[in-house]
Amino acid sequence: MEIKCSEEECKGKNIESIITMVKEVLEMGELIVYPTETLYGLGTDATRPDLIDKVRNVKGTPTEQGISIAYLDIEHAAEFLGDIPELAWELAEKFTPGPLTTVIEKDGKTEGIRIPNQPLTRKIIEDFGPITATSANKHGAPSSIDISTAKTQLGDDVLLYLNCGVCKIGQGTTVVKVDERVELLREGAISKEELGDVVGC
């Protein structure tokens, strides 16, 4: 199933019906493809480990590779993750909502924090809660900057596709690992020079 939503509609107040439908799909434990400012994402209820495994299986993601989670803001992430390093708060204040994924260590495993800057997706997270924030493509295949690419790769494994046109940025997030310092894992939409202006990398 595919729903089209223009940018103006995404920002408007008359998308309650879309939000309601998305929530119903997520509550069923199904997958959605949703827009972000960078790439289309593959989303499901991020509080259920079995559904995160489902995302891995659909994408063909290696078991050891983490799946980032989309939150409304850094405070929202802290509600679920507990203590978050101070440097992560500083980066969030400067670059989010926006194209940054912050990886932290929690209880012996890594957690990826993504705070998207797309109005429809932000309303979904606000209404439903955290959702998975991995790109909507098969592992190793081209990333989806439009819905047709996602549909070609993921097909009927996804129940609901939210088509909001071509993603504005069209490249992946910048990924950093944060503890006492900031380590650049992948340079994306935010350059290492921009990061360096805020904290040392």
- 74: nearest Cα among 45, 42, 37, 104: 104
Name the band, by pLDDT with cuts 50, 70 and 90, for residue 196.
Answer: confident
Mean pLDDT, range 5-18, rounded to an integer = 73
CB neighbour burial string for 114-152, b if at least 16 within 10 angstroms, e if fewer? bbbbbbbbbbbbeebbbbbbbbbbeeeeebbbbbebbbe
Residues with Cβ < 8 Å from 46, sequence gap 6 or more? Answer: 52, 69, 70, 129, 130, 131, 132, 133
pLDDT value for 93: 93
Least confident of 13-22, 127-136, 178-187: 13-22
pLDDT value for 108: 81
Interatomic CA distance for residues 52 and 79, integer angstroms: 19
pLDDT tens by residue, 110-164: 999 999 999 999 999 999 999 999 999 999 899 999 999 999 999 999 999 999 9
The separation between CA 197 and the C-alpha centre of its own chain, rounded to angstroms, equals 25
pLDDT tens by residue, 54-75: 999 999 998 888 899 999 999 9
Q: Does the pLDDT value for residue 201 go beyond 90?
A: no
- Which listed CATH number (3.40.50.410, 4.10.80.40, 3.40.640.10, 3.90.870.10) goes with 2-196? 3.90.870.10
Interatomic CA distance for residues 163 and 168, integer angstroms: 13
Interatomic CA distance for residues 117 and 121, integer angstroms: 8
Share of the chain above pLDDT 90, in %: 77
pLDDT value for 180: 84
pLDDT tens by residue, 88-117: 999 999 999 999 999 999 888 899 999 999
List the domain boundaries for the chain. 2-196
pLDDT value for 65: 85
Q: Does the pLDDT value for residue 53 go beyond 70?
A: yes
pLDDT value for 116: 97
The three state secondary structure string of the chain is CEEECCHHHHHCCCCHHHHHHHHHHHHCCCCEEECCCCCCEEECECCCHHHHHHHHHHHCCCCCCCCCEECCCHHHHHHHHCCCCHHHHHHHHHHCCCCEEEEEEECCEEEEEECCCCHHHHHHHHHHCCEECEECCCCCCCCCCCHHHHHHHHHHHCCEEEECCCCCCCCCCEEEEECCCEEEEECCCCCHHHHHCCCCC
Q: Does the pLDDT value for residue 12 go beyond 80?
A: no
Mean pLDDT over the full length of the chain: 92
Name the band, by pLDDT with cuts 50, 70 and 90, for residue 198.
Answer: confident
pLDDT value for 6: 72
Question: Does the predicted model carry a pTM greater than 0.85?
Answer: yes
